[in-house]
Structure 1
């Protein structure tokens, strides 16, 4: 039977939880834009394609179709530790008057060299809006229960 190896395209059904058991994603849900998996349904990626966390790629090498594996990632292996320097207060006047802000909404901020990076609105005050540039799962250990559904061998 074929086993997962570098270069293969793989497809998994999965449930992803935090250390307290809270489900934050699964193959039964519509995935967020930052998962790299293409939306609703199985998690699909190419081994070595930098589409998912490197530790997750490494953990599935050698799996066979139908096999289930639990992979636990530390915060460092996933979205990194929270960095309090990533919380910034922006004057409310920096936003257009007709722009509707909502807590938890994601904004794209322009950085140096026209880089764009995400920030989440955490507080809306009369004078300032607090943004958090940390990923919402930063500082969290993640647990994936993966069942390999398909392997498309590398050519």
Structure 2
């Protein structure tokens, strides 16, 4: 038996675990604010220059829920994926906001709200913290990821599937 297909009906390669993939993307918060994009860099201090999101499916390079959502996609296909906080950076944990006495900082240290600092833990590992509030006697540092507690929406367009090296 011969099966006939019209032009465009043949199945194209689909994303599977182990594939190396490239996506054009726009990442937004629930209110529509764009926080990342492959089109351009949205951070003045960033030198990434934009460009497609590239990763190997199954290598834990992106959120597992995002990997699961792209399985089966074909080149040129578009998909919108919304991740809950638990599928992305987790819920905010107010225990992650700590008050540090101003005396712990050097006198000549110029500190600003939203500034990122690196804290050294007891294990000598560096942890990021953001300056949440500057008070007269204390400075509040937030060790939560800035996107913790946020629902994230990714608008994806698959541009390439290749074999992982």
TM-score normalised by the chain length of structure 1: 0.90
Q: Check if 1:12 corresponds to 2:48.
A: no
1:60-71 paired onto structure 2 within 5 Å: 60-71=70-81
* Distance in structure 2 (CA, Å) of the matches to 1:20 and 1:31: 17
Unaligned residue ranges in structure 2 (runs of 5+):
1-11
Unaligned residue ranges in structure 1 (runs of 5+):
33-37
* Distance in structure 2 (CA, Å) of the matches to 1:78 and 1:129: 28
- Greater CA deviation, 76-85 or 40-49? 40-49
Alignment partner of 1:56 out of 54, 66, 83: 66
Tell me if structure 2 keeps the 8 A contact 1:9–1:44: yes
Q: Which residue of 2 aligns with 1:113?
A: 123
Tell me the secondary structure at the aligned position of residue 67 of structure 2.
helix
Larger Rg: 2
* Distance in structure 2 (CA, Å) of the matches to 1:122 and 1:138: 14
Q: Which residue of 1 aligns with 2:34?
A: 23
Tell me if structure 2 keeps the 8 A contact 1:31–1:39: no
Q: By how many angstroms is 1:118 displaced?
A: 0.9
Alignment partner of 1:81 out of 65, 86, 91: 91
Q: By how many angstroms is 1:31 displaced?
A: 6.4
Q: Check if 1:135 corresponds to 2:145.
A: yes
What RMSD over aligned residues (CA atoms) do the two structures have, in Å?
1.5
* Distance in structure 1 (CA, Å) of the matches to 2:131 and 2:163: 42
Tell me if structure 1 keeps the 8 A contact 2:35–2:42: no
Runs (4+) of structure 1 moved beyond 3 Å?
A: none
Q: Which residue of 2 aligns with 1:35?
A: none
- Greater CA deviation, 62-71 or 19-28? 19-28
* Distance in structure 1 (CA, Å) of the matches to 2:154 and 2:164: 24
Query: How many residue pairs get matched?
Result: 150
